[in-house]
């Protein structure tokens, strides 16, 4: 992070060593012999003085702020009190606000935010890559369309996009009484989109629900095996030059393994199909309009920025790469996925990471579309209990933690990408 500071120190040392043999010290801030110079003009003393003054000023400022904030009642005890409000848009959780505490409600809000952030990051990356590549398309119409998208969504406020998406969805989608059924398994209305969803069940042998966890664990193990096989086959292919069909093997192993364990464990998972009863969806998974509006808004907005990053990274590649790929007879798709994108990836990861962090922070716009994310729940708690400073502290720590996790993941990916010779 503070490369420059280190650079500066290095620079300092270099200069000192370079100037050491020179007998007459240069004016300014070169190293000066200490004996003849008054204390006040010595560099070390000056620096000490400056820092001292700076620290004193900062401390004064802090003291003033601390003093003004009047922290007599500072404490987090209020978070354990009963919440007395409900939050909507819960998924996998069912916390009623009556008996649960405020901190539980806040965690529900955090979970809601995380879902939005995760989905928006995923979708905005896909949109970004697709549009970024499309902008460089030799097809005039496609390139124009991509440019239109980028220029529109990059230059309008996210808040307006989100409320607009929400308003359009509410007006555009049919009301629940006229719900549209897609292929007999999905429903769409302005109450949301209901889709089938896997749920654990007793299965053939009447095993308890948690047994689905065993199956998931087995799946992970099989996946690991498949990946190992893939890598060894890839290595062999590289050594021998004979095609080893690494991907096919890996996929086959995984598919067969998953199927066999699924049957052996007695079909522990079934697919829940949604249906409409009265004015509500039952079973399945329901993607609520609020979640959809926020996620789509974030996706479109961030996607436009990602597209520019992808485009810039591709353009930064030497043209020789494209020409070489053409020369060895790769198709357009192969050229893109095997040559261009893997190389552009290295260039784009730092900027893309920044966009992901923005997605995290921008998810707070849920405040404007009736989605109960962490910021909104914190606002409700603050409205009921006061303690604005504590709530803000909680909010900022939460956002920073999520940012840290995203940064750490992206750093990990970055290290993989830059290490592996693509």
Residues 51-80 that bind other proteins (CB under 8 A): 51, 54-55, 58, 64-65, 67-70
The yes or no reply on residue 414 touching other proteins (CB under 8 A) is no
Quick one: which of 37, 60, 126, 168 contacts other proteins (CB under 8 A)?
168
Quick one: which of 28, 33, 241, 243 contacts other proteins (CB under 8 A)?
28
Q: How many residues bind other proteins (CB under 8 A)?
A: 108
Q: Please state the closest distance from residue 296 (CB atom) to other proteins, in A.
A: 15
The count of other CB atoms within 10 Å of the CB of residue 222 is 18
Distance CA 122, CA 297 (A): 13
Contacting range for other proteins; rule: CB under 8 A; set: 119-127, 244-252, 268-276, 389-397: 389-397
DSSP codes joined into one string, 380-402: HHHHHH--HHHHHHHHHHHHHHH
Q: Please state the closest distance from residue 148 (CB atom) to other proteins, in A.
A: 8
Quick one: which of 13, 47, 231, 248 contacts other proteins (CB under 8 A)?
47
Cβ-count burial of 31 within 10 angstroms (0-12 exposed, 13-18 middle, 19+ buried)?
A: middle
Q: Please state the closest distance from residue 264 (CB atom) to other proteins, in A.
A: 38
Q: Which residues between 336 and 375 bind other proteins (CB under 8 A)? A: 347, 350-351, 353-354, 361-362, 364-365, 367-370, 372, 375
> What stretches of 149-203 adopt beta strand conformation (E)?
180-182, 186-189, 192-195, 197-200
Distance CA 184, CA 181 (A): 6
Cβ-count burial of 359 within 10 angstroms (0-12 exposed, 13-18 middle, 19+ buried)?
A: buried
The yes or no reply on residue 405 touching other proteins (CB under 8 A) is no
Contacting range for other proteins; rule: CB under 8 A; set: 103-111, 265-273, 337-345, 385-393: 385-393
Instruction: Return the closest-CA partner of residue 37 out of 17, 45, 15, 20.
Output: 45
Residues 94-123, mask of contacts with other proteins (x by CB under 8 A):
--xxx-------------------------
Element at 155 (helix H, strand E) = none
Q: 186-189 and 180-182: which strand pairing?
A: antiparallel
Quick one: which of 86, 136, 185, 413 contacts other proteins (CB under 8 A)?
86
Nearer to other proteins, 201 or 407 (CB): 407
- Sorted by sequence, the CB contacts under 8 Å of residue 390 that are 6+ apart come out as 74, 75, 76, 78, 79
Distance CA 206, CA 202 (A): 5
Tokens coding 157: 């406020």
Quick one: which of 232, 383, 411, 415 contacts other proteins (CB under 8 A)?
383
- For residue 243, the number of C-alpha atoms closer than 13 Å in the C-beta half-sphere is 3
Tokens coding 329: 């007879």
Nearer to other proteins, 205 or 393 (CB): 393
Nearer to other proteins, 226 or 377 (CB): 377
Q: Please state the closest distance from residue 419 (CB atom) to other proteins, in A.
A: 18
Q: Which residues between 183 and 222 bind other proteins (CB under 8 A)? A: 189-191
Backbone angles phi, psi at 317, to 5 degrees: -70, 150
Nearer to other proteins, 20 or 206 (CB): 20
Contacting range for other proteins; rule: CB under 8 A; set: 89-97, 123-131, 230-238, 411-419: 89-97
Q: Please state the closest distance from residue 151 (CB atom) to other proteins, in A.
A: 7
Residues 283-322, mask of contacts with other proteins (x by CB under 8 A):
------xx-----------------xx-xxx-xx------
Q: Which residues between 2 and 21 bind other proteins (CB under 8 A)? A: 2-5, 7-9, 11-12, 15
The yes or no reply on residue 386 touching other proteins (CB under 8 A) is yes
Distance CA 387, CA 379 (A): 11
Element at 86 (helix H, strand E) = none
Distances (CA, A) of 394 to 220, 248, 370: 35, 48, 21
Work out whether the CA dihedral 253, 256, 257, 258 comes out positive or negative.
positive
Nearer to other proteins, 199 or 410 (CB): 410
Nearer to other proteins, 299 or 313 (CB): 313
The yes or no reply on residue 85 touching other proteins (CB under 8 A) is yes
């Amino acid at each position: 992070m503070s490369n420059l500071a280190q650079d500066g120190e290095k620079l300092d040392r270099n200069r000192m060593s370079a100037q050491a043999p020179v007998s007459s010290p240069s004016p300014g801030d070169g190293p000066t012999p200490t004996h003849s110079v008054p204390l006040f003009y010595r560099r070390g003393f000056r620096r000490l003085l400056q820092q001292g003054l700076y620290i004193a000023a900062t401390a004064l400022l802090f003291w003033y702020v601390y003093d003004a904030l009047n922290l007599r009642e500072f404490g987090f005890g209020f978070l354990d009190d009963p919440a007395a409000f409900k939050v909507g848009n819960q998924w996998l959780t069912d916390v009623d606000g009556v008996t649960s505490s405020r901190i539980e409600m806040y965690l529900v809000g955090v979970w809601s935010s995380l879902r939005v952030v995760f989905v928006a990051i995923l979708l905005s990356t896909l949109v970004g890559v697709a549009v970024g590549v499309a902008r460089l398309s030799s097809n005039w119409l496609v390139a124009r369309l991509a440019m239109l998208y980028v220029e529109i969504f990059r230059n309008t406020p996210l808040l307006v996009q989100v409320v607009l998406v929400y308003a359009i969805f509410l007006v555009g989608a049919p009301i629940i009484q006229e719900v549209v059924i897609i292929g007999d398994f999905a429903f769409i209305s302005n109450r949301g989109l209901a889709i089938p969803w896997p749920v654990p069940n007793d299965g053939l042998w009447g095993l308890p629900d948690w047994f689905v966890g065993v199956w998931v664990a087995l799946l992970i193990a099989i996946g690991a095996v498949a990946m190992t096989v893939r890598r060894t086959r890839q290595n062999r292919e590289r050594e021998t030059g004979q095609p080893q069909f690494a991907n096919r093997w890996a996929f086959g192993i995984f598919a067969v393994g998953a199927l066999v364990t699924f049957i052996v464990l007695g079909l522990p998972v079934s697919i829940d199909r949604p249906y409409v009863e009265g004015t509500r969806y039952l079973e399945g998974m329901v993607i609520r309009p609020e979640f959809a509006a926020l996620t789509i808004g974030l996706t479109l907005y961030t996607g436009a920025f990602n597209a520019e990053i992808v485009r810039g990274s591709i353009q930064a590649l030497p043209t020789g790469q494209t020409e070489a790929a053409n020369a060895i007879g790769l198709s357009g798709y192969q050229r893109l996925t095997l040559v261009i994108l893997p190389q552009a990836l290295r260039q784009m990861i730092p900027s893309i990471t920044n966009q992901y962090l923005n997605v995290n922070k921008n998810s707070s716009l849920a405040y404007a579309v009736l989605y109960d994310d962490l910021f909104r729940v914190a606002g409700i708690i603050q409205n009921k209990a006061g303690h604005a400073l504590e709530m803000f502290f909680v909010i900022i720590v939460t956002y920073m933690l999520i940012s840290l996790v995203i940064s750490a993941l992206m750093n990990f990916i970055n290290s993989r990408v830059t290490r592996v010779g693509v």
